[in-house]
Structure 1
């Protein structure tokens, strides 16, 4: 390789291109994702130091009483050791990884994408982004359907920075905000927020924030002081699916 070609490669001119193809564009947390990374060499030979996939989303972060949107890393997977890619060479690298159980769902403003990157020393690293639709697993779907059947409508779903007491592996949580438009809790609740904390053993811990509707002067004072909000945590399993609506309704009724 001539010195001129080396210089071209080092600034990213004529460099490698990457394209990631997913076997399917939707999956539930915990499911296997398969695909292949296609790499095409540029005009010059280049050493690829690393190939990686990263699973990402965005979330709201608050600082100095202002909220702004930032990118959040869910997980990162290394696919290959370093190798040399010849000029115009095409290479395919298959991959398989499990979608983490705490991956947010594709509801509301929440978007999830797989970013592919090549690490090329002293070069402009090529990358590729592929959006993936993350759907609820049967247990989470049962919870969402039960809430809907009780007359709640999903108003918003968004990832937000997690307070320290709720923070686990990720710096954010996904909140599902519901309002009662029919059913037994219309007129009793202003809204209800639901957060999932999935476990790897087929269980999901749920945190609900139940916002009672203000009643009379005492109710308005409680609302003004945010004393009308109740937090409750409980666990559901696959065995609860046939009776999910009854279970969740009984929990809400204690605080409505």
Structure 2
């Protein structure tokens, strides 16, 4: 290799390319993403120090009264040791990535993607970005369906920076915001917010915030001080699914 080609390779000209091919595009948290990473050599032989997969999303963060999107890494793994890719050579590397249980569901504004990157020393590292869908688990689906059946409509789903008391390994939580549009809670509540912490395939911890509608001067005073909000924390297992609608109704009624 001439010196001229070595210099061009080190700044990313003629460098290798990467393309990730997934066997499917929709998953549940806790399941595995499988596929193949295809690496295509460029105009010069190059050493690839590593190939890594990052599972990413964004969340809303506020600073100085301004909101902006912050990127968060949910998971990152290395899938191969260092190797050399020749000129125009093709390599296919199979991989498997288990989605953590706290991977957010792709509803509302929430997007999740896998970014594949090559680590090439002293080069502009190429990468590939693939969006995937994350469906709610059967337990979370049953909770969401029960809330719908109680007369609530989904107003917003978003990932926001996690309050300190709810902080886990990730810097954000995913909030599901519902408003009562019919049924027993219409006129009694302003909204209900749900946050899910999936612990295993059959256990979900739920944080529910019930925002009562202000009534009279006392109610307006409470609303101004945010005293009209109640936060409830409880656990739902797969055994609770048949009775989850009634359990949610009783819990919400107790804070109306």
Report the 3-state secondary structure (helix = DSSP H, G, I; strand = E; otherwise coil) of the residue aligned with 2:220.
Answer: helix
Report if the CA contact (8 A) 2:104-2:134 is conserved.
yes
| Counterpart residue number, 2:237 | 237
| Counterpart residue number, 1:55 | 55
Bigger drift between 120-129 and 63-72 goes to 63-72
Deviation of 1:65 (Å): 2.5
Separation in 2 of the partners of 1:98 and 1:246? 34
| Counterpart residue number, 2:42 | 42
Deviation of 1:218 (Å): 0.8
| Counterpart residue number, 1:76 | 76
Deviation of 1:214 (Å): 0.7
| Counterpart residue number, 1:4 | 4
| Counterpart residue number, 1:188 | 188
| Counterpart residue number, 1:161 | 161
Root-mean-square deviation over aligned CA pairs: 0.8
| Equivalent residues in 2 for 1:1-256, closer than 5 Å | 1-200=1-200, 202-256=202-256
Separation in 1 of the partners of 2:120 and 2:90? 16
Give the number of equivalent residue pairs: 256
Report the 3-state secondary structure (helix = DSSP H, G, I; strand = E; otherwise coil) of the residue aligned with 1:186.
Answer: coil
Deviation of 1:64 (Å): 2.1
Deviation of 1:66 (Å): 2.0
Deviation of 1:233 (Å): 0.4
Deviation of 1:201 (Å): 5.4
Report the 3-state secondary structure (helix = DSSP H, G, I; strand = E; otherwise coil) of the residue aligned with 2:241.
Answer: helix
Separation in 1 of the partners of 2:17 and 2:5? 17
Deviation of 1:11 (Å): 1.2
Deviation of 1:97 (Å): 1.5
> Over residues 190-234 of structure 1, what are the superposed CA-to-partner deviations in whole Å (9 max), with x where a residue is unaligned?
001000011025210000110001111111111111100000000
Report if the CA contact (8 A) 2:159-2:172 is conserved.
yes
Report the 3-state secondary structure (helix = DSSP H, G, I; strand = E; otherwise coil) of the residue aligned with 1:148.
Answer: helix
Report if the CA contact (8 A) 2:205-2:234 is conserved.
yes
Poorly superposed stretches of 4+, deviation over 2 Å? none
> Over residues 93-140 of structure 1, what are the superposed CA-to-partner deviations in whole Å (9 max), with x where a residue is unaligned?
100121110000001100000000000001110000000010001001
Report the 3-state secondary structure (helix = DSSP H, G, I; strand = E; otherwise coil) of the residue aligned with 1:199.
Answer: strand
Report the 3-state secondary structure (helix = DSSP H, G, I; strand = E; otherwise coil) of the residue aligned with 2:200.
Answer: coil
Separation in 1 of the partners of 2:100 and 2:7? 41
Separation in 2 of the partners of 1:26 and 1:201? 17
Separation in 2 of the partners of 1:84 and 1:236? 50
Separation in 2 of the partners of 1:203 and 1:163? 22
Structure 1 residue runs of 5 or longer lacking an equivalent are none
